[in-house]
Structure formats: structure tokens, C-alpha cells
Amino acid sequence: MRRPFLLHLLAAAILLSTTSAFNITILLGRFPGFEQFNQLLSHTQLAEQVNSRRTITVLGLPNDRIGTLMQLREDAQKSILSLHIILDYFDMAKLAKLTPANKTTLTTLYQSSGLANGRQGFIDVVRRTDGTIVFGSSVPGSPLVCNFVNPVAAQPFNISVLSVSQPIIAPGMDGTYFDTPATPPPPPPAAAAPAPAARKKAPPPVEEEPVEVTEAPAPAAAPAPTKSPAPSPDADADAAADEGEDVNAAEDLTSEKETSGGVDLGVKLGLVIGLAALVAVAGQ
Ligand SMILES: *[C@@H]1O[C@H](CO)[C@@H](O)[C@H](O)[C@H]1NC(C)=O
Ligand SMILES: *[C@@H]1O[C@H](CO)[C@@H](O)[C@H](O)[C@H]1NC(C)=O
Ligand SMILES: *[C@@H]1O[C@H](CO)[C@@H](O)[C@H](O)[C@H]1NC(C)=O
């Protein structure tokens, strides 16, 4: 029981460490001012989708630029946020190579969600002749409202995070989502009152060193709960028993054998004594 369980853990740890090239939650956590955006990425599960990609650019919204996004329904938040995740790598060098005043169309994660209508899943980027770089929805007639502010982080050529000035919302997204008057408690625009559940996740990523190394311990612990509920009730007890004794597991196994051997011996001895007693009785 113990041995397969530990092997599962090990396999899961190896799998996770080889498939994730980076962790957007940890990456963004190193930059003060993106706490709410980071929290939204995790809350909408978009962080996992970002981490599963090899080549990606995230248009990050600082806390003071996130606007009303924090107050929207979760599906709207997810749609809008996924429009800020570009399925290509764009860092400063690549942005500088854009032909001035020429529109380049970029595919976003929203396009791959299957929810996009028409051009909703695409955004345009333009490097103006004055050097400023602007983004906007590719839906015809949409304004280029979102300004590039500065590069935040880059891990060439896999992930780049750029800071931008305001959310990009494709026309029709609001029609689809915000029409619903069921946006009941629009709390005060106190942007500093996020969901308490997600907030707790922000502090931990204080890990500063190489992302790959710091990632390893967290995922190793995560798969445990998914393993235990599924199999027999024994597995739960096993999992609980395994807590904190991983190092001693080998010792445990041998001592278990000894005790079970002892039990065996005891039973046999009992039988022999019982037989001897019977023989003695019969003999009399
Ligand atoms: C980085 O991206 C390249 C392709 O752009 C890919 O071949 C490589 O595997 C990626 N690196 C990691 C660690 O995922
Ligand atoms: C990324 O880091 C967060 C916070 O440390 C963690 O909860 C999450 O499991 C990590 N994701 C991956 C894919 O390693
Ligand atoms: C503008 O970009 C398009 C492709 O995005 C390209 O075909 C065209 O030649 C470019 N125009 C200029 C003036 O660079």
C-alpha cells in the first residue's frame, strides 16, 4: 500500500516539474502592484492555462489599472482576462520590430476558449510613429485603447509579461455578459477588497530563486488529496499514516514484516501447543 502511494507522488512530481516551464503566479508575485491581477488569474483558473503553454505573452494590469474588472461576474472576468493572454511571445525587442503604423493581429487565449464570436478572440497591436505601442480588440471599429506601459518580466522565448494601461474589452463581450442585470452587489470601488479566499494565495510565492526549483515542493503535495479519495477507504488511512514519515517508510516496511512474522509465529506456536495438549489429553 505504501510503496505504490509514494511512487505515485514521485511520478506526479516528476511530471509537473518537466511540463511546467514557468509559473505565472510565482513570476507575477515577484512584482509588487500586480496582486489583484495575479489573484484573478488564479481565481479564474487561467493561471493553469498560462502555465501549460510554451510561448505566451501576458498583458498585465496593475492594481490601479484593473478598473471595474474586480467587480464583474467570474465568467466575464475570465473572458476579458483571457483576451490579455497572447498565444505568442512578445518582448521589447519584438515590439520594437513592429512596422510603424501597421496593424499586427494577435491570437489570444479567448480565441481558444471557443466562446469568441467573429474577431472577438483577436487583438491588434500598433506601434505608432511616435513610438507608443497600443493594443485593442480586433473587432472592426474597436478603438486601440490599451497602452503598453513597460516590460515587467521575460523568460525568452517562452513567457513575457507586459504592463498595460487599461483592460481590453471586445465589443459584444459586454453585451453577452454585462447585460445580465444580475450583477447584484457592486461593492464600493475599494479595489483593495478582493475575495479573501484567493488573497491568501498571494503571499506564499515569496520564493525568489529559480522558478523550476521552487515549484517542485508545492505540486508534490498537491496531488496527494486527489489520490486518496478515489481508491478504497484504506487509502485514506494510508495517506494519513504516510504523513511525515516518508523518510522512515523503508524502516516501517521492515518493522511491519517483523511484526507480521511475529504474529505468524505466535499463531503457529499456539497451534503446536494446542495440538500437544490434545495429544496429551488423548494419551491419558
Ligand atoms: C520555450 O519555447 C520553445 C519554443 O518557442 C520550446 O521549444 C521550448 O520547449 C520552451 N521551453 C520550455 C522550458 O518549455
Ligand atoms: C504555481 O505556484 C502556485 C503558488 O505557489 C501554486 O499554487 C501552483 O500549484 C503552481 N503551479 C504549478 C503548475 O506549478
Ligand atoms: C503591415 O503588416 C502586414 C502584415 O501584418 C504586411 O503584409 C504589410 O506588408 C505591412 N505593411 C507595411 C507597410 O509594413
Which portions of the chain are predicted below pLDDT 70?
1-20, 174-284
Q: Is the pTM of this model over 0.75?
A: no
Q: Are 109 and 137 a contacting pair, CB within 8 Å?
A: no
Question: Which residue is closest in CA terms to ligand 2's atom 5?
Answer: 205
Q: What is the pLDDT of residues 61-120, one digit of tens each?
A: 999 999 889 989 899 999 999 999 999 999 999 999 999 999 999 999 999 999 999 999
Confirm or reject: Cβ of 51 under 6 Å from ligand 2. yes
Confirm or reject: Cβ of 270 under 6 Å from ligand 2. no
- Cα(4) to ligand 2 centroid in Å equals 25
Please name which ligand lies nearest the alpha carbon of 205: 2
The pLDDT of residue 226 is 39
The pLDDT of residue 172 is 78
The pLDDT of residue 214 is 30
